[in-house]
Structure 1
C-alpha cells in the first residue's frame, strides 16, 4: 500500500469531485510570494488540525501532548512562523469516540492543510477512509503498525510493537535468561485485533530468546474496571515479568489489584501504558515498574529538551510537567520540518505536504535519534530506551537507545 506517493492524473470530472470533498489541492492558487497554496493555507496562515481526546479516558495525557505541540508552535510563530506564515492549531475533541471523531474530522477537513496530531486508534480507524479520500497528510499519535499501513498516514517514531519487543529483550537480559535460567513472561493486552498483534509480537520475540517462555496472555475489554480475573491468571502462571500492552487507563487497576493479591512481578510497559498522573494512585508500588519508550524524557540534557523547557516557561508556565508534553513537542518538530520542506519546494498544498513527507530527514534535537520518514509505509527506527519511574511518576532512563535484533526480525517478518 502506498501512503504518500504521487497521485496519478485523472479525469477532470473526477478531480472536481475530489476537490469538493476537500481533496488534493487542485484548487490551488499562488501566494504573493509565489508559493502554491491550497486548502487551509493563506498568505498569512497555515491551518492544522489536532484530533485528540480532551474529555475522554485519555484526556489528561492527550491534553499534555497538545500543550507540548502548542508551545512548540508558539515558539516557531514567535520566530516568524514557517514560510512567513503563522501556524494555527484547531483543536478538535474526539472524546475517544469513533463517531465523535468522524464528526469532528468532517467539521474541520475543509479548513486545514494537514493533521499533525491524531490521537487514538479508534479515531484513526474511524476516519482512515476519509483521510485517504481527502488526501489529508496525517501524523498518527497512535504509534502502532496499523497506522503505518494506512494511506496518507505516517508515524515518526518506532511503533508500539517495537517498544514492547525491546522491553521484553531488556527484561530478559536483566534477568540473565537462558536455557538453564528460564524466565516466565506474561503479556496483557486489549481483546481486539491490535491487542492480538501486540501479544503476537511479544510471543514472536520470546521464541527467539533462549530461556524465555510466555506463560499467560490475558486480555481485557475497554469497559473492564475489575481486573481480578486477569490478575489471577497472571499470578497462577508464575510470570516473573509482565509486559503491559494496555493503555494508561488500565495500568492503575492492573498493578493495584496485583498488589492486593500479593502478585509482584517486574512490570514492563510501553509508552502508552504510563502517565505521570498514575504515580499517586500507585504510590509504593512502582519500585519494579519500567517503561520502554521510543522518545526521551524531561530529565534529558539535550538541546531539544532544553528548547522545550524554555518554550513551556514562556508560553505555558502554569502547566505541570508531563512526558506527554515531550510527545507533543515532537509532533511540532516533525510538522515544522515537513512544512519547511514544502515551503522550499514552493508547494503548500496537501499534495505538496505529502511530497515533503516522503524521504524526510527529521532531527529531534537529541530527544530521540534522527529519523527518515522513508515512504511512509516502513518502520522509521527500531531504537527505544528503557526507563524507570520515580515517586513523582517521571520517567528516568536506565539504558541507552538500542534496537533489539528480535524487533528487527519481527519487522522484517511482517513486511516493514
Structure 2
C-alpha cells in the first residue's frame, strides 16, 4: 500500500478548492468558510448611496470622500496585506431600488462600508442579519441602535435636536413660553428628530408647532406661513439642502426673521451662491455630530490640504459628508486589521466588537463603540455659514453634550 497517496490526494483537493474559491490560505478561510469579497490581493466593500435622489448632494460627496480615504489607505499598504476595493451602487433614496442593489452587491463583498439613509437601512435589516454582515451607515436614527451589524457614527437625530434647542435657549434665541417651530421630514429622520424637540420643549418650557414635509417637496411656503401664524421664535429644520434654501427664502418673503437650525444634512456649500445665500448667512445654523472640514486641527488641515491638492478650487458640496466618510473609512480599516486572522464576516463582526473607541483629532468627538445599543456620542457642534472658510461652514460652538442630552433616554431599535 502506498501510504503517501492519501496525503497527495488531500493536497490536490486543497489546491482545487483554493483555485475554485480564489482564496488565499492566509487568513481568508476558517471554520466559518471563505468570505465573499476577499482574495489574495483585494478586500471588496459595498456602498449603497443616494447619487441621484433627494440627498444626492451629500451622497455624491460621500462617494468621492470614501474613495479618497481608500486611496490613502491603499497607498499606505492597505489592510491585511490587501487593497480595499469599493463596489458602489446608486439607490436614489428609493427603498425598493436599495433592496435590489443590496441583493446584487452582497454576494460580492465582505461588508458594506456605507449604506446611505435611515429608511433604506431599516428596509435592509432582515437581509443584513441573515447575511451576518457588518454595515457602516450614513444614518443617525436611534432605531438603528442595538444591532451589532450596524455602525452609527456620532449623535442620533433626537440628540442633535435636543442639543440644538438647548443651544438656542442658552444663546437667548428662545426663552420659556416661546414657540419653537419644527419643520420635519417624513420618515425616520424627521420623526426621530421630533422626539428630541418634543422632549427639549417640555423640559425647557417651550411650546412646539410642527409641520411634516416629504423629501420631494419643493415649495415650503405653506409650512413657513404656518410657523409664522403659530408665532414661532425659531425654526428647527430636518430637510434636504434645497429645502433649507426654500425655507430661508420663504421666511424672508413672509417677514419671519427668526433663527433657523438645521440638522447635519441640511446644508450644501453651493447654497451660499444662490438667491437664498444672504438669508442663510443671516439666520441659519447647523447642528452636527461630526466635525468641520475647516477645523483648526492638524488632522483636519492635512485632510483639507490633500482634498484641495486633488480637486483644486472646487470645494466639496458637503464638508460634513467628507468628514464622516473619511472617518468611517479609517474606522473600517481599523476593524478589518483586527480580523486579519479570520477574514470572514463573522471574523469582522468579532473584530468590530473589540473596537470600543475611535477618534481622529478634529473630525469628530471621541466615539464610544462599546455598547451598540447606545449612541457612539451625545455631543454636537454648532456651525454657521461663512463664505470665507473652506466648505462654507465655520465653528460656533465646539462639541458639547447638553444636560438634557445626558438625561434623555435613547430608545434603540
Q: What's the TM-score, normalizing by structure 1?
A: 0.86
Is the partner of 2:81 in helix, strand or coil?
coil
Task: Pick from 197, 200, 208 the counterpart of residue 205 of structure 1.
Answer: 200
Q: Is 58-67 or 356-365 further displaced after alignment? A: 356-365
Superposition pairs of residues 33-182 of structure 1, within 5 angstroms: 33-34=26-27, 36=29, 38-150=35-147, 152-175=149-172, 179=176, 182=177
Q: Which runs of 5+ in 1 are unaligned?
A: 1-26
Q: How many residues align?
A: 383
In structure 2, do the counterparts of structure 1 residues 352 and 34 end up closer, same or farther at CA, with 3 Å as the change threshold? closer
Question: Does structure 2 conserve the Cα–Cα contact (< 8 Å) formed by 1:387 and 1:399?
Answer: yes
Moved over 3 A (4+): 27-37, 176-179, 191-194, 313-319
2:374 is aligned to: 378
Q: What's the TM-score, normalizing by structure 2?
A: 0.86
Residue 169 of structure 1 and its aligned partner are, at CA, apart by 0.4
Q: Does 1:260 align with 2:256?
A: no
Bigger-Rg structure (1/2): 2
Residue 146 of structure 1 and its aligned partner are, at CA, apart by 2.3
Residue 339 of structure 1 and its aligned partner are, at CA, apart by 1.1
Distance in 1, Cα, partners of 2:51 & 2:188: 25
Residue 319 of structure 1 and its aligned partner are, at CA, apart by 4.6
1:11 is aligned to: none
1:220 is aligned to: 213
1:16 is aligned to: none
1:336 is aligned to: 333
Is the partner of 1:385 in helix, strand or coil?
strand
Task: Pick from 280, 283, 286 the counterpart of residue 277 of structure 2.
Answer: 283
Distance in 2, Cα, partners of 1:280 & 1:238: 30
Question: Does structure 2 conserve the Cα–Cα contact (< 8 Å) formed by 1:187 and 1:214?
Answer: no
Distance in 2, Cα, partners of 1:306 & 1:84: 28
Q: Is 398-407 or 309-318 further displaced after alignment? A: 309-318
Question: Does structure 1 conserve the Cα–Cα contact (< 8 Å) formed by 2:141 and 2:157?
Answer: yes
Distance in 2, Cα, partners of 1:371 & 1:289: 27
Q: Which runs of 5+ in 2 are unaligned?
A: 1-19
Question: Does structure 1 conserve the Cα–Cα contact (< 8 Å) formed by 2:74 and 2:83?
Answer: yes
Distance in 2, Cα, partners of 1:91 & 1:104: 9
2:295 is aligned to: 300
Q: Is 169-178 or 315-324 further displaced after alignment? A: 315-324
How large is the RMSD of aligned CA atoms in angstroms?
A: 2.3
* Superposed CA offset, 1:166-187 (max 9, x none): 11100000007555xx433111
In structure 2, do the counterparts of structure 1 residues 178 and 284 end up closer, same or farther at CA, with 3 Å as the change threshold? closer
Is the partner of 1:398 in helix, strand or coil?
strand
